[in-house]
A and B are shown apart, each in its own frame.
Chain A
Amino acid sequence: MLSLSINHPLQFAGSKGALTVKMTIRPGETLAIMGPSGAGKTSLLRAVAGLLKPREGQVTWQDETWLDTSQKRFLPPYKRSVGFAFQDYALFPHLTIRENLRFALAPIREDAKVDELITLVQLTDFADQKPAHLSGGQQQRAALARALIRKPNVLLLDEPFSALDGVLRHKMQTVLRDYLKRFQPAMLLVSHDPKEVARLADGLMIMENGKMRQMGTPGELLAQDPIEKLSGKIIELGENSMVVLTDLGVVRLPFRPSRGEVGDEMEVPFDLEKGL
């Protein structure tokens, strides 16, 4: 069982706060994490992986202590059995996709395993290309394969399908679901996609300002949340606002995306009860 109880000071959208989370996940279980940007979702994954050293708390996997600040114990990330799919993919640019996967297994060379995963994520034709020659979606699939290849006990996926279109997203979710069934890791999945969460997760934690706002099953929590997303196209970008054309009409939003230009597709929050 992955057990975690941490408290760590963090900056949230310019204001000071703390990442304060307590949770447990059994092997074979998936806990999805949702919440607004800057809620501390990625920081939570980083704390589990050991990439962030919480000021206070404990992290244990089965009978292994990964962190216990009261005993000044901190197991470095490279000694923890984790697989991490980063939001920016973090593929090594000097290695091909095949070499990126081999790197994860080195010094053992298991080409059959590498080839199997490359086939599963549908990158056979791109296996000997370097990441710079691949699209965002292809890089994201390679990053997912690399996170899975060592069969880690704890799988940490930070929006692993965000760059994929609908059909491919569904296919990759199926690949991941089969993998979870076969190898039974404990998984933390950061996602903004309610359908993805409903399909993959056993539990759902909604975070806000570093704290757990709600915990339950995806069925319970997603039914309560009236916020859905609607696809649209950006038609105007202001300094702190934008105008998006959706199927339900034109809407002006009081923020602008960190990336994106006029003409780009984006998702607009849509309140089922109140409308746009």
Chain B
Amino acid sequence: MNFSPFFLSAELGLITTIVLFVMVIPMVYGIHFFSGKWAPIWKALASLPLILPPTVLGYYLLIALRPDGWVAQLTGLELAFSFEGLVVGSALYSLPFMLTPILTAIENLPDSYEEAAFTLGKNRWQTYTRVLLPCVKPSLLAASVLTFAHTIGEFGVILMIGGNIPDETRVASIAIYHEVEALHYATADRYALILLGFSLVVLLGVYGKRLN
């Protein structure tokens, strides 16, 4: 059995999780402190991938990232059908899984925490990094684990912008599809079982942690 699709999936999941974590921390800061009455618009935009069919997002990304697309024209980077393109697509598609749990946890903290920090001379960023984020540490962990797991399970977006290139874009979910198409059901079975087990372990980890 070829394990390279799993290594590729793990690499994609890890990189996407790190990229999203780094992106979402300032995004939540901006939405929480500065968006005011516009907050619902930002939240809706960030949650769009939750309800948008993956093929729709994948299609728009393909148009943007293809060799003659506007991203290539602006930056010179050809991201379609490359691993880097998968990272861009995964980051967009998994954004709500990282952003929503952290933002919700921050918004559920009592207002008096940040007000107390303000009256102790700490500005918004200091309050955010030294009070609010440490108070929601379990949510940071849960958001990261869910993002990683969700990225591992992606299919539609990946297929649209990455295709099915061995060792480049053929991640585990695509490999299952590939094996089924080739009527290699035994291999597909094993791949599927591994992904199922992985998903269960991740969810047990998240909910077990919450129960604790």
A interface residues (Cβ-Cβ under 8 A, vs B):
46, 49-51, 76-80, 82-84, 86, 88, 90-94, 103-104, 146-147, 150, 156
How far, in angstroms, from A156 to B120 measured CA to CA in the complex? Answer: 12
Report chain A residues within 8 Å CB of B116: 84, 86, 90-92, 146
* B185 contacts A by Cβ under 8 Å: no
B122 touches A90 (CB 8 A): no
B interface residues (Cβ-Cβ under 8 A, vs A):
110, 112-113, 115-123, 127, 130-131, 134-135, 137
B122 touches A78 (CB 8 A): yes
Report chain B residues within 8 Å CB of A77: 115, 118-119
With known contacts A90-B112, A94-B135, A94-B137, A150–B118 Cβ distance under 8 A: no
6 closest A-B pairs by beta carbon, nearest first, are A90-B112, A90-B116, A77-B118, A84-B119, A104-B120, A94-B134
Closest B residue to A84 using CB positions: B119
B121 touches A90 (CB 8 A): no
Closest A residue to B134 using CB positions: A94
A78 touches B115 (CB 8 A): no
Report chain B residues within 8 Å CB of A103: 117, 120, 122, 130-131
Nearest Cβ on chain A to B24's Cβ, whole angstroms? 20
Nearest Cβ on chain B to A89's Cβ, whole angstroms? 8
Nearest Cβ on chain B to A153's Cβ, whole angstroms? 12
Closest B residue to A146 using CB positions: B120
Report chain A residues within 8 Å CB of B134: 92, 94
Report chain B residues within 8 Å CB of A80: 119
B135 touches A78 (CB 8 A): no
Contact of A92 among B121, B123, B131, B137 (CB under 8 A): B131
Nearest Cβ on chain B to A97's Cβ, whole angstroms? 14
B130 touches A78 (CB 8 A): no
B130 touches A90 (CB 8 A): no
30 contacts between A and B (CB under 8 A): A46-B115, A50-B118, A51-B115, A51-B118, A76-B123, A77-B115, A78-B118, A78-B121, A78-B123, A79-B121, A80-B119, A84-B116, A84-B119, A86-B115, A86-B116, A88-B112, A90-B115, A91-B116, A92-B113, A92-B116, A92-B117, A92-B131, A92-B134, A93-B135, A94-B137, A103-B117, A103-B120, A103-B122, A146-B116, A150-B120
Contact of B118 among A76, A88, A94, A146 (CB under 8 A): A76
**Interface Cβ pair total, 8 Å cutoff:** 62
Report chain A residues within 8 Å CB of B127: 78
Closest B residue to A49 using CB positions: B119
Report chain A residues within 8 Å CB of B135: 92-94
Closest A residue to B112 using CB positions: A90
How far, in angstroms, from A91 to B117 measured CA to CA in the complex? Answer: 10
B118 touches A90 (CB 8 A): no
Closest A residue to B130 using CB positions: A103
How far, in angstroms, from A146 to B122 measured CA to CA in the complex? Answer: 14
Report chain B residues within 8 Å CB of A50: 118
Nearest Cβ on chain A to B210's Cβ, whole angstroms? 17
How far, in angstroms, from A84 to B119 measured CA to CA in the complex? Answer: 6
How far, in angstroms, from A249 to B121 measured CA to CA in the complex? Answer: 50
How far, in angstroms, from A80 to B118 measured CA to CA in the complex? Answer: 9
How far, in angstroms, from A79 to B123 measured CA to CA in the complex? Answer: 8
Report chain B residues within 8 Å CB of A49: 115, 118-119
Report chain B residues within 8 Å CB of A86: 112, 115-116
How far, in angstroms, from A156 to B119 measured CA to CA in the complex? Answer: 10
Report chain A residues within 8 Å CB of B112: 86, 88, 90
How far, in angstroms, from A93 to B113 measured CA to CA in the complex? Answer: 9
Closest A residue to B126 using CB positions: A78
Report chain B residues within 8 Å CB of A94: 134-135, 137
Closest B residue to A93 using CB positions: B135
Report chain A residues within 8 Å CB of B115: 46, 49, 51, 77, 84, 86, 90
How far, in angstroms, from A82 to B121 measured CA to CA in the complex? Answer: 9
Taking A77-B119, A78-B118 as given, write out 6 further A-B residue pairs in contact, using a Cβ cutoff of 8 Å, ordered by the A residue number: A49-B115, A78-B117, A78-B119, A78-B127, A84-B115, A94-B134
Nearest Cβ on chain A to B135's Cβ, whole angstroms? 6
How far, in angstroms, from A153 to B127 measured CA to CA in the complex? Answer: 22
Nearest Cβ on chain B to A54's Cβ, whole angstroms? 16
Report chain B residues within 8 Å CB of A51: 115, 118-119
How far, in angstroms, from A171 to B102 measured CA to CA in the complex? Answer: 42
Nearest Cβ on chain B to A189's Cβ, whole angstroms? 16
Closest A residue to B116 using CB positions: A90
* Residue of A82, A91, A103 with highest tally of chain B CB at under 10 A: A103
